[in-house]
Amino acid sequence: MSEQETPICPLCRRPIPPGARQSLHHLVPRLRGGRCGPTVLLHQICHNEIHATLTESDLARSYSSIEALRAHPRLAKFVAWVAKRPPGFHSKTPGPRRKR
């Protein structure tokens, strides 16, 4: 696979190499009307951080774009942290979970 074919995670903007943990994120949560809506391929750690930070309602109401997600203070801090890690890096989601 060439570098041009390697997908780029839109949240952290690092390549997603073959074999790296990854998943599709519904920009509007499925349970909030986004079942057939747009999805983006993310590193699994980036996807985990989104859902650890924001509720489904928050995602549907105010964070249904990559730009909005990147502007969220906790996610911006996470992106700065994970950007220093190798493209295939994965660990437990750092920091406290959101309150449910």
3-class secondary structure, 73: helix
pLDDT at site 57: 94
pLDDT digits (tens, 9 = 90+) for 16-33: 999 999 999 999 998 888
What is the rounded radius of gyration, in angstroms, for the C-alpha atoms of the chain? 13
Token pair of 34, please? 């986004």
The β-bridge partners of 15 are 8
**Taking 80 as the threshold, does the pLDDT of residue 95 lie above it?**
no
pLDDT digits (tens, 9 = 90+) for 43-64: 999 999 999 999 999 999 999 9
